Structure 1
């Protein structure tokens, strides 16, 4: 008979990214992560013109921040960033950091807020990020290229956006590229871990919100999107497996997808470094936009 306590303990360890960093202790790495994102966001707010707390829906949490470069060009590339934090932590207030190198290149960055648990549940969060994308497309009719970037839980939400049946919405966003960084694409393994305590997901909720099960819809909605599945070298074995499996499934479906195994990074630095114009993923994003 399997020892479920042991299996559960190992699952908890695998899905605790802070325990896998080689840089510092679990608590320290989370503190440092929040500090890095906050400082990067403050810097972006000092460099860009900003529109803060723009509503995209009726709910209190349904707001986004827009970081606008000094450009007169009507040919605007726009990146929507969906933050991580295990669907229960962080907010748009720490999510403007990647605008620092991008506004220099004339790229607009939008940081999306959504109702994290326990206030929000998984169905609501997925609905919110989908509606935020629709709202951005409606407000910025002159976008020449729309891109998505999500980290961890935000990569899960970005993959759910790519898997949207847009026929139920007033517009069909044409997403040219998506960066899914250290994400979770099959939610079932976390049902029995501490992560699910504030989320209270059932098996059914996890199944309908697992991007790995929605590849046929993604193929219909996002077949022309270049998807980059990125994972940190020092992510846990299970996080790395999630990215590799999702990449292989997308690739087998004939989608335009590349895998990036980012060396010398952990679950946190892999996204924090987007504040730097010389970072591998920043350069890749700019190249995708023809801005390198």
Structure 2
């Protein structure tokens, strides 16, 4: 594991008013937020009706949390899988809102797994991270049962899900969960959050209740792995400024270690509708995902 002193830590000393603006994704789309959330559910329902293969699989006995698996018909060999982690600032959304890319990937011969995790403030962020790591470990340990090649697990997540995906990339946890250090073969963190110091100093602290130890342990940019897979760090053109700073800082830190990384700003999209790019294989974002999964 590589300790990294993120320049984003300095943001915790900035005025609270600025941080509240810079990390308020919802404010960037005005009154369209309900429409964006409705689109998440509707597009996921559309994919579910066509491509769902296994529903409500309990991946963690302690929490009882579940995941769904989408993809082509099984039975003709093991396939790669894309494990997607939803956002919602760690306090909202679910796997029911998070399958919009599964149809595009199924047509390319790729399985998709989407998971639920318990939400803050009902549970701590540390527990959320544990649950997501348990989901990855479950997939690796039980892959063949679901037609998945455990040596071709790829991950992604949006917003808070980008943070959680980066916590799967982080070093130092694999032995406790019985998975190899290189369990993840590529990653797509979208509009993610990788240093928590600014969030502990602004409005998300209201439901996260992070102390200094939490901020250190749960900031993935401070725990970069010894083995780094190829990643695409992407964000929307119309992001709130904090999300852009976080994404570029994480990508640069990854590159500084010699790990392969591509940065991609998606034009015309906002923090929420960037996920709609993954419905079609023809978009630059989908092409980037398919390419990194094939490397």
Any conservation in 1 of the 2:232–2:288 contact (CA below 8 Å)?
Answer: no
What TM-score results when the alignment is normalised by the length of structure 1? 0.89
1:269 is aligned to 2:235: no
Structure 1 position 124, deviation (Å) = 0.3
Match of 2:141 in 1: 138
1:148 is aligned to 2:155: yes
Distance 2:280 2:205 in 1: 33
> In the comparison of the two structures, how many residue pairs are matched?
278
Structure 1 position 118, deviation (Å) = 1.4
Residue from 20, 27, 35 that aligns with 1:19: 27
Any conservation in 2 of the 1:153–1:184 contact (CA below 8 Å)?
Answer: yes
Secondary structure, counterpart of 1:140 in structure 2? helix
Secondary structure, counterpart of 1:145 in structure 2? strand
Deviations 1:15-56 (A, max 9, x none): 1112223xxx2x32x212211111111111111132111001
* Higher RCO (CA-CA < 8 Å; seq separation 6+): 2
Any conservation in 1 of the 2:69–2:112 contact (CA below 8 Å)?
Answer: yes
Match of 2:240 in 1: 236
Secondary structure, counterpart of 1:285 in structure 2? helix
Distance 2:23 2:78 in 1: 41
RMSD, matched Cα: 2.0
Match of 2:178 in 1: 170
Distance 1:171 1:236 in 2: 36
What TM-score results when the alignment is normalised by the length of structure 2? 0.89
Gaps of 5+ in 1: none
Deviations 1:195-236 (A, max 9, x none): 121121112211110011112xx1x2x42x111111111112
Residue from 16, 34, 46 that aligns with 1:8: 16
Secondary structure, counterpart of 1:117 in structure 2? coil
Residue from 93, 96, 110 that aligns with 1:90: 93
Q: Which runs of 4+ in 1 moved over 4 A?
A: none
Match of 1:49 in 2: 52
